[in-house]
């Protein structure tokens, strides 16, 4: 193209002007020249939608068409691409994306909940029309993990992913470890600081991490997104005292999303883990996210960065916009959606590995022998046993770790132990992950 004939701008519409939406508008404005160079054309925001028109968002919206209804915005015929930044797996976000695709527009979204639940269907519809659905911002915010896996490791088979995928949980666990305070106390602080939502359920109960894991697993393994098969446990049960024991045993406690592809199928789980202090991911603290991918030719790859916030998330959204403006496109999940190979989900009971168990038991003769017998009956072999102090007749904490065993056996042993009279609180178990 000659210099006199500038390429037409990419006209985009942005649905949702909250933390991420406003961040995207600011980034596009601040970096307009750089972005034009990288795209070979300008990216113009021609229309926007949010709930409240009057709200000051710190950005000038005067040149943009306003829509109260984001689905109507998505249907605007003078738009090439719709950016969905509303959130939620149903309702306006889902309608906006569906309308955009029906009316022939590319989509960029940060919405992991939507992709985790409807990702495969959305990809099928978009690809059938030759449209791109891009979602770098949906997993691990500013870390280019989707591109890293899908394009950067495209020549590999990825067998395993371990990720710190929720900054709120990582912040809470880091604070609990460094200050010795308990979960409720640190959560209240995190809410006051804006690191946790007023309703923290999605974060602390592991659902947000599970949404991201389901999307990552699809990209890594070329399988349909299967959120329903993710085993999910959050961090509410991790006690302040567990951090002391973890330290003593050489571990850090992290909420990990783990996806593994084995001959038996695909394993997807989110739960608190003990990881060796020496593992690089153990050093990823506070609101940071990290993903470790095990690839057959590249070997182990570690990605670390900010998993949320206006700047990092906008950075990921704009990277997707630049790709589309440049005409760069890959199938949504790396292979065409109609060729994603369904895989059998591996049930949690088949997990094999070692375990940390903390019990509160009445200190009297025979108690430890009963615990050991419950383990032995399930062929669970104990590796370490810690009992701090003695207080005959009173409840004392007892901690043990096991050698590698099956989850099903461990669960049976724990049920027997929990039923013993001398065990005064439900056993607390944290899986040990060596990787
Ligand atoms: N925040 C992060 O750091 C982060 C990181 C990664 C991914 N994400 C994802 O990015 C998306 C947006 O998150 P956010 O933190 O920016 O959320 P947010 O601050 O709550 O913003 C949501 C926006 O959606 C608008 N909205 C809600 N319902 C609407 C409706 N029915 N019609 C039109 N607009 C509507 C809201 O309008 P009003 O402003 O008028 O209320 C608001 O502007 C979510 O999918 C989230 O999971 C966020």
Q: What is the mean pLDDT of residues 129-135?
A: 98
Closest ligand 1 atom to Cα of 50: 34
Other CB atoms within 10 A of residue 178 CB: 12
- Decide: 313 in ligand 1 pocket, CB within 6 A: yes
Query: Catalytic site residue 112?
Result: no
pLDDT, greater one: 120 or 195: 120
CA 21 – ligand 1 centroid, Å? 7
- Decide: 52 in ligand 1 pocket, CB within 6 A: yes
Tell me: pLDDT of 95 over 70: yes
Which pLDDT band, with edges at 50, 70 and 90, does 5 fall under?
low
Beta-strand pair 265-276/428-432: parallel
Which pLDDT score is estimated for 196?
86
Tell me: pLDDT of 394 over 70: yes
- Decide: 207 in ligand 1 pocket, CB within 6 A: no
pLDDT in tens, 266-279: 999 999 999 999 99
Predicted TM-score (pTM) of the model is: 0.97
Tell me: pLDDT of 6 over 80: no
CA 19 – ligand 1 centroid, Å? 7
% the chain with pLDDT above 70 = 99
Mean pLDDT, the chain, whole residue set: 96
Closest ligand 1 atom to Cα of 91: 31
Q: From atom 38 of ligand 1, which residue's Cα is the shortest distance away?
A: 51
Q: From atom 12 of ligand 1, which residue's Cα is the shortest distance away?
A: 85
Length of the chain: 435
Q: What is the mean pLDDT of residues 381-405?
A: 90
Which pLDDT score is estimated for 320?
98
CA 87 – ligand 1 centroid, Å? 5
Tell me: pLDDT of 3 over 70: no
pLDDT in tens, 12-49: 999 999 999 999 999 999 999 999 999 999 999 999 99
- Decide: 111 in ligand 1 pocket, CB within 6 A: yes
Mutate which of 20, 208, 211, 310 for ligand 1? The one with the most ligand atoms within 8 Å of its CB, which is: 20
Which pLDDT band, with edges at 50, 70 and 90, does 387 fall under?
confident
Tell me: pLDDT of 388 over 80: no
- Annotated active-site residue in 6, 212, 254, 277: 212
Tell me: pLDDT of 389 over 80: no
End-to-end CA distance of the chain: 51
- Decide: 55 in ligand 1 pocket, CB within 6 A: yes
Closest ligand 1 atom to Cα of 23: 16
Which pLDDT band, with edges at 50, 70 and 90, does 2 fall under?
very low
Closest ligand 1 atom to Cα of 51: 40
Tell me: pLDDT of 69 over 60: yes
pLDDT, greater one: 254 or 391: 254
CA 110 – ligand 1 centroid, Å? 9
Of 393, 310, 411, 378, nearest to 22 by C-alpha is 310
pLDDT in tens, 169-217: 999 999 999 999 999 999 999 999 888 888 999 999 999 999 999 999 9
């Amino acid at each position: 193209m000659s210099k006199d004939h500038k390429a037409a701008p990419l006209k985009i519409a942005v649905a949702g002007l909250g933390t991420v939406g406003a961040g995207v508008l600011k980034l596009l404005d601040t970096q307009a020249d750089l972005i034009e160079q990288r795209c070979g054309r300008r990216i113009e925001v021609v229309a926007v939608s949010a709930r409240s028109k009057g709200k000051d968002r710190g950005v000038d919206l005067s040149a943009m068409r306003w829509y109260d209804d984001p689905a109507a915005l998505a249907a605007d015929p003078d738009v090439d691409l719709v950016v969905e930044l509303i959130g939620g797996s149903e309702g306006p976000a889902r309608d906006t994306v569906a309308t955009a695709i029906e009316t022939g527009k590319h989509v960029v979204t940060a919405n992991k909940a939507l992709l985790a639940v409807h990702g495969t269907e959305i990809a099928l519809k978009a690809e059938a029309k030759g449209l791109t659905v891009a979602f770098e911002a949906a997993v691990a915010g500013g870390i280019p993990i989707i591109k890293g896996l899908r394009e950067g490791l495209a020549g590999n088979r990825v067998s395993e992913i371990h990720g710190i995928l929720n900054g709120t949980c990582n912040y809470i666990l880091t604070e609990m470890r460094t200050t010795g305070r308990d979960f409720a106390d640190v959560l209240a602080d995190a809410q006051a600081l804006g690191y946790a939502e007023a309703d923290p359920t999605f974060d602390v109960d592991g659902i947000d991490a599970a949404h991201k894991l389901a999307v990552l697993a699809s990209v890594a393994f070329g399988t349909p997104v299967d959120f329903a098969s993710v085993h999910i446990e959050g961090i509410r049960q991790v006690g302040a005292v567990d951090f002391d024991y973890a330290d003593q045993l050489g571990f850090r406690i992290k909420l990990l999303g783990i996806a593994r592809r084995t001959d038996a199928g695909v394993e997807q789980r989110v739960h608190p883990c003990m990881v060796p202090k020496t593992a690089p991911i153990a050093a990823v603290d506070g609101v940071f996210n990290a993903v470790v991918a095990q690839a057959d030719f590249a070997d182990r790859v570690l990605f670390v960065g900010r998993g949320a916030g206006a700047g990092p998330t906008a950075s990921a959204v704009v990277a997707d916009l630049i790709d589309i403006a440049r005409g760069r496109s890959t199938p949504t999940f790396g292979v065409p959606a109609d060729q994603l190979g369904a895989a059998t989900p591996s049930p949690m009971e088949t997990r094999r590995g070692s375990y940390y168990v903390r019990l509160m038991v009445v200190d009297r003769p025979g108690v430890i022998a009963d615990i050991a017998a419950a383990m032995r009956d399930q062929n669970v072999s104990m590796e370490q046993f810690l009992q701090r102090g003695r207080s005959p007749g009173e409840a004392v904490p007892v901690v043990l770790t096991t050698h590698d065993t099956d989850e099903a056996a461990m669960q049976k042993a724990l049920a027997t132990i929990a039923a013993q009279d001398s065990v005064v609180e439900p056993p607390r178990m944290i899986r040990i992950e060596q990787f």
